[in-house]
Amino acid sequence: MGSTPIAQYVYATGTAAGKRVQALGGAKNHAVILPDADLDLAADAMVNAGFGSAGERCMAISACVAVGPIADDLVAKISDRARAIKTGDGTKNADMGPLVTQAHRDKVASYIDAGEADGAKVVVDGRTVMSQTGPERDSAGFWLGPTLLDNVTPQMSVYTDEIFGPVLSVLRVDTYDQALELINTNPYGNGTALFTNDGGAARRFQNEVEVGMVGINVPIPVPMAYYSFGGWKASLFGDSHAHGLDGVHFFTRQKAITTRWLDPSHGGINLGFPENT
């Protein structure tokens, strides 16, 4: 499990040597919020999925697709929740920790810089956030707080690239079909979610979306271990997913055994040829 270029390399190298390979690559996970959705539930979910683990997980939601007239209300609700998140080292009174290295922290911040330069609105800016567990911790962590960008477009690097940090981009579309097209034309296909109270829309989404793991009103659709885990397109290389039956088949080699026990009182073996009459 790693970036898509590494997954491609591992897959190509392993299969060239005749090995069975299961290589999980990058992701750009979308959550689509339909106009009929419970916006408080959706906002809670976006904060959880976008900023949990400081966004450093392959199933993080990094693209929130607001459909129709709900975008302003949704952004306001996410913004209020994001500003309440406390950043710290995890010893006390902290909701979110630092990023893994200074280099990665600076890389994530550079994407925010680029998004702002490209015209995205920085609604919540995590670039200047320091530890809220005490000034003595400020120099001991690679701090970057929750960041919310609005009016992001598909051409911006903050959308096209997997950032792997606490950066949530809001893209605005007019219709469900536009939201679906946005996801299906993305090169990644790891996880996605739809927030709605419309069962018909949910059924259509789960059938039409080209993504390996789908959640309906579930922001991080990681199935239980007895189901398979893994994406489509540039998010997975190989013919089987992790966990579940796919995982069992990947790590085992099947054998077929045919046996017969003869009764000594019976004669020779029937060869099964038809008799000529």
Catalytic residues: 58
Given the DSSP bridges, would you call strands 23-24 and 236-237 parallel, antiparallel or unpaired?
Answer: antiparallel
- C-alpha to C-alpha distance for 190 and 23, rounded to whole angstroms: 12
Which of these, 112, 83, 117, lies nearest to 99 by C-alpha position? 112
Tell me the CB-side half-sphere exposure of residue 145, using CA atoms within 13 A.
Answer: 22
Given the DSSP bridges, would you call strands 232-233 and 188-189 parallel, antiparallel or unpaired?
Answer: antiparallel
For the beta carbon of residue 40, count every other beta carbon within 10 angstroms. 12
- Residue pair 176/68 in contact (Cβ under 8 Å)? The answer is no
Which amino acid, one-letter code, is at 174?
D
Mind giving me the DSSP string for 166-197? SEEEEEEESSHHHHHHHHHTSSEESEEEEE-S
Longest CA span, the chain: 100
Which of these, 204, 219, 193, lies nearest to 48 by C-alpha position? 219
The C-alpha angle with vertex 54 and arms to 49 and 55, in degrees rounded to 5, equals 50
